Amino acid sequence: MRRPGRDVNDIAGSQRVAFAAINRRAPDLAGLLRFRIHYLAASHDGRLAALDDEDIGLVLVQLRRAGRFAIRQHGVVIRVAGNILAREWFPFLREFICHVSQILHAVNIYLGRCRPSQSAEDQQACNVFHGNSVSILSAAQDLQTFELYTASMRHFLTGLVLAGAMTVSALAADSGNPFVGRWDFDVHTRSGVGANWLGITEKGGQLDIWFQPTGGHVYQVKDFHTDGSHLTFTASPASGRHPAMIWELDASGDKLTGTQKVGDHTTPLTGARAPELNHPEPKAWTSPQPLFNGKDLDGWEPIGDAAKSHWVVKDGDLVNEARGANLKTARKFEDFKLHFEVNCPDNANSGFYLRGRYELQLEYEAAGSEPMNRQMGSIYGRLAPSTELPRTPGKWETFDVTLVGRKVTVVRNGTTTIDGKEIEGITGGALNADEGEPGPFYIQGDHTGGLKFRNITVAVPEE
């Protein structure tokens, strides 16, 4: 049943009153809300219907699930206790939902676009939209202690809860299913630690699951089943004499626990929510410092068995003479500007790993044998270059890579090919899945030999 007598003009009027009240107490918050409302109105023409009784009940369930939360923005703190759903506050909450229903609806429409298959710009916009306006609290005070029974204060609360409701709606869209999110796994096996990643979204009650195994590239999972807080999926199907790899996971808060089963062998699994890594852009950078001195391997060390390393210094260049061990820096880095020059011969394949987790692909395999997001200059399996540059095997090329948080910019031979894109998660070959930690640079040597490197430098944010 639709609430009679409520049209777009009435809703806009109520919002203006609320914004005016907020503006007197927190003008920055008012500006933020005004931007969000205007953006959504422009995107969706403002023609969004009010919620009916059934939809209102769903929103109340979402609020109840959220429990006690606080809206914090620029010193403004309003705590909403669970009893907002009871007694005299229920009529007010229902009125509020009617007023802002088109905003809640627009939020859900907007968030529905944020899926792994969407562009990084959409996903970044979604992250910015979420903001940090709502934080879960272990305790909250009763609304009565804030003396919010007057009409003027009700308008103020309406505006503040509007910010919270938009974020609660966003959180519900992302976390209605306990598996929704990005998850990092360090899987401990007999051969060492294998880094894995899961990216899970939900739309229309259907999960969309993407899996990054220890090696190879991220791919969509088709064979899966959920039962409440339990998820089972086939990480890799059976092939020849190799049995299928099955993951079984249980969700509990910010952790996924379970087992990886391959035939009769079982490995325990523990996954943690991947950090957002919303780092601010550094105001200044240090002068570039050399990572390779052109004389020896000082500052570098092979990964694994040193006897398998074929890295040498020849004529001032860092050369991998044959397929063997990977090579990493002794130092670890967080945000940085990396520069290097590489000479990649035909039919060669390597990669330059950022923080030891994100591979910048270096290869001149047969032309057209791989999609753009697995070709020269890509973030392997994650981000394709926006411009396809000419192949130049056997010639020196330059790369300038800036990584701040998850945002990466790649300039190849003076042309920006990836511009401030978000890296969703680790790539195959990552040393570990600890995305919130600094990591080394490492160069693949276990695919082919023949690649040469020189003029490897790094700059970091000034303190």
pLDDT tens, residue by residue, 316-347: 999 999 999 999 999 999 999 999 999 999 99
Are 88 and 147 in the same domain?
yes
Are 303 and 452 in the same domain?
yes
Beta-bridge mates of residue 136: 69
The count of structural domains within the chain is: 3
> Alpha-carbon distance 85 to 94, whole Å?
10
Are 444 and 373 in the same domain?
yes
Q: Is residue 280 in some structural domain?
A: no
Of the three residues 247, 273, 299, the one that is the final residue of a domain is 273
For 111-115, 185-189, 378-382, which range has the lowest pLDDT when averaged over its residues?
Answer: 111-115
Are 191 and 167 in the same domain?
no
Of the three residues 175, 210, 244, the one that is the final residue of a domain is 175
Q: What integer pLDDT is reported at residue 49 of this predicted model?
A: 35
Whole-Å CA distances, 390 to 83, 356, 393, 397, 454: 64, 28, 10, 11, 21
Q: What integer pLDDT is reported at residue 189 of this predicted model?
A: 82
pLDDT at 229 over 70: yes
Quote the DSSP letter at residue 243: P
Are 319 and 423 in the same domain?
yes
pLDDT band at 45; cut points 50, 70, 90: very low
Are 54 and 186 in the same domain?
no
pLDDT band at 352; cut points 50, 70, 90: very high
Are 158 and 203 in the same domain?
no
149 vs 422, more confident: 422
Q: What integer pLDDT is reported at residue 43 of this predicted model?
A: 37
Which of 60-74, 91-105, 125-139, 434-448 tops mean pLDDT? 434-448
pLDDT at 164 over 90: no
Are 34 and 113 in the same domain?
yes
For 128-137, 170-179, 262-271, 301-310, which range has the lowest pLDDT when averaged over its residues?
Answer: 128-137
Are 376 and 452 in the same domain?
yes
Strand, coil or helix: what is 373? helix
pLDDT band at 120; cut points 50, 70, 90: low
Average pLDDT, the chain: 74
pLDDT band at 259; cut points 50, 70, 90: very high
pLDDT at 67 over 70: no
* Residue 417 near residue 377 (C-beta atoms within 8 A): yes
Q: Is residue 151 in some structural domain?
A: yes
Q: What mean pLDDT do residues 395-406 have? A: 98
* Residue 233 near residue 442 (C-beta atoms within 8 A): no
pLDDT band at 130; cut points 50, 70, 90: very low
Are 297 and 409 in the same domain?
yes
Are 56 and 90 in the same domain?
yes
pLDDT at 418 over 70: yes
Q: What mean pLDDT do residues 218-239 have? A: 94
Are 297 and 237 in the same domain?
no
Q: Which CATH number is 244's domain given? A: 2.40.128.20
Q: Is residue 302 in some structural domain?
A: yes
> Alpha-carbon distance 336 to 133, whole Å?
29
86 vs 213, more confident: 213
Of the three residues 216, 238, 273, the one that is the final residue of a domain is 273
Q: What mean pLDDT do residues 157-174 have? A: 42
Note down the domain range covering 422. Answer: 289-459
Half-sphere exposure of 396 (CA within 13 A, CB side): 8
